[in-house]
Structures are given as C-alpha cells and as structure tokens.
Amino acid sequence: MPNQDSIIKVEGIEMFGSTGKVLTPPVSPTGAIQQHQIIRTFEDFVTFEVSAWVPGADAVTASLYPIFYVATVRCFLLEAKLRHDVNSSSGTVDVEKIVNGTAKGSGVSMIESTFSTASGARTTIRKKPTGTLANAQLSPGDAVALKAGGTLTSLSDVAVTCLFGISMRDLPTSFGV
C-alpha cells in the first residue's frame, strides 16, 4: 500500500484505487492537473486532498488559474500548500471559495493570507485556513479556485494542494441522497 501520510504527492509515485489500478489525475481544459484522494480517517472525520497545477509559463497569466474542485458534500479546509519553481516580481496566489451561483474572482479567501510568489521558489509554503469559519467551509455545489494577483512576471510551475476534512455524518449513505 502506498504511503498516504503526506498531502503532497510527487509524480512517479503510484497510487492505487480499490480495483488495484493506478489512479491518474484528471486534466482540466486549461491543462491544470487535478487530483482527488482520500488519505486518512480519524475518529469521525475523513480527510482528502485536491491539487491543481498551473504548468510552466502559464503561471504568468492570471486567467489560466483554474477552478479545481466542486464540493459534493459539506467539507472544510484544513490547510493549503503551494510550491512554485521560479519567483514572480510581486505576485500572489489565493485559494478562493466560490459559492454556488457566484462568478470566479468574486469569491472569498479560504486561507489566512495569500501566498506570496515573489520569494520561496522550490520551497513548500503552508497556510492555515482563514479565521472566518464560513469562508473555510464548503457546501455542496460550492467551488474552489486559484486566484492570482500582482505582477506574475517570471513565475513558473505553480502547484497548490488543499487538505479538506469531512465529518462522517455528512457523507451520503445512498445514491438517492
């Protein structure tokens, strides 16, 4: 069984589904790779991660930062991690909660403060969820996106992984739910 303790997954490490087949992350139309995996349970909670990647030079274009998760059950953000390959001039990346029916870019921040991409290249940066509980929680239909700002010149290869939690009582018990 693969090691499932870390929320950051590295290319080349195979993860297996219940069928024994290697899981491959889906790719969005913009080329952003998305990954969903239940990683552990603890008492009455399940945690899972969702990742998005803005490859190479696409990272300098704010409009290429994707919506990368749509909640199917009530859940909440536990932490977010970002890693980029080359620093920007003065850029930032935010993890944005987009309430169902709201346009991308008009949501609220889910993290304590935006990630700065002006320093820390090739270093994993960790952020806690915002102190505003409602902004860290998702209801079914709410989405999560990356929102870039500032001067993104030279920025390259931005990867973000969000760790979410679900209360076991919020998991559906049948398909008709």
- Please give the full DSSP string across 136-164, using - where no structure is assigned: HEE-TT-EEEEEEES--TT-EEEEEEEEE
Please give the pLDDT value at position 29: 53
Note whether residue 1 is domain-resident: no
Distance between CA atoms of 137 and 116, rounded to whole angstroms?
23
Note whether residue 176 is domain-resident: no
The whole-number mean pLDDT for each consecutive block of 10 residues of the chain, a chain of 177 residues, reads 40 38 47 53 82 96 97 95 97 97 96 97 98 96 98 97 90 63
Note whether residue 8 is domain-resident: no
Please give the pLDDT value at position 90: 96
Residue length of the chain = 177
* One-letter identity of residue 22: V
- The distance in angstroms from the start CA to the end CA of the chain is 31
Note whether residue 14 is domain-resident: no
**Helix (H) / strand (E) containing 134:** helix 133-136
Do 109 and 128 contact (CB within 8 A), yes or no? Answer: no
Give how many domains the chain has, as a whole number: 1
Note whether residue 96 is domain-resident: yes
Q: Quote the tokens at residue 175.
A: 């398909």
Note whether residue 25 is domain-resident: no
Please give the pLDDT value at position 39: 55
Please give the pLDDT value at position 112: 98
Name the residue range of residue 136's domain. 35-170
Please give the pLDDT value at position 5: 42
Please give the pLDDT value at position 120: 95
Residue 92, domain CATH: 2.60.120
Please give the pLDDT value at position 161: 97
Note whether residue 23 is domain-resident: no
Instruction: Characterize 104-135 residue by residue with b for buried, 16 or more Cβ atoms within 10 angstroms of its Cβ, and e for exposed.
Output: eeebebbbeebbbbbeebeeebebebbeeeeb
Q: How far is CA 29 from CA 32, 54, 160, in A?
A: 7, 12, 18
Note whether residue 50 is domain-resident: yes
